[in-house]
Structure 1
Amino acid sequence: MAARRDLGAGKRKHGSGTSQLLKLSPDKERQMSERRELYRSANGDAWFLGREPANGHAFVIHQPNAPSGGRLTHIELGDFLRSEPKGPEHQALLRLIGTLVNVPPYA
């Protein structure tokens, strides 16, 4: 399952499975401008909702703070939402998804 990609190489654990990490080219990083910040923690970690311009696929980008290495990690939406523990970055994504519906609650 190629669910997670970052600027390094190797494998990392995310949630309950192992995910493949892929190096992104400078051109790919420039294309990554289609993103929206979801959450920024007090320690400087940031999470973004990103979209692949070529095919419209959405994913979550995690940018750790500089002392942690600051290497971007791309996580498929399903894997991100299934991962534990649920943090404020998960709640932020769910709130954003909720804004896409124009129906009053309990309608």
Structure 2
Amino acid sequence: MENLQEFALSSNGDRWYLGKDETSLRTFVLHKANEASGGTETRSDVQAFLNSDSKGPERDALIAILGVSDDKDASEQDSYLPSS
């Protein structure tokens, strides 16, 4: 079971969620593509998402809900948890 919190919605219908795997207790970002694009779901570690080359509004939205600056080091990013 997973706990998901939506943090971004694009104008084309793509959605991004911050999640926590109940088994491993690891946080992740789930991207759900819009139906016209096939509705594909892609999961990334929070750290990988924040450190990716993509610097779009969804990254800014994740930083905002986490309440952090984007200059945190990898060990701090690894401990991010979704709010309840």
Whether these two folds match at TM > 0.5 is: yes
Q: CA deviation at 1:60?
A: 0.1
| Alpha-carbon separation, structure 1, partners of 2:54 and 2:26 | 24
Are 1:45 and 2:14 matched, yes or no?
A: yes
Identity between Structure 1 and Structure 2 (%): 38
Structure with the bigger RCO (C-alpha within 8 Å, sep 6+) is 2
- Measured after TM superposition, the shift of residue 70 of structure 1 is 0.5
Structure 2 residue aligned with 1:93, among 35, 45, 62?
A: 62
Runs of 4+ with >2 A deviation: none
TM-score, L = length of structure 1: 0.60
TM, length-normalised to structure 2 = 0.75
Q: How does 1:62-81 map to 2 (within 5 A)?
A: 62-81=31-50
One-letter code of the match for 1:56?
Answer: L
Paired residues, number? 68
The unaligned stretches of length 5 or more in structure 1 are: 1-30, 100-107
Structure 2 match to 1:28: none
What's the C-alpha RMSD, in Å, of the aligned pairs?
1.2
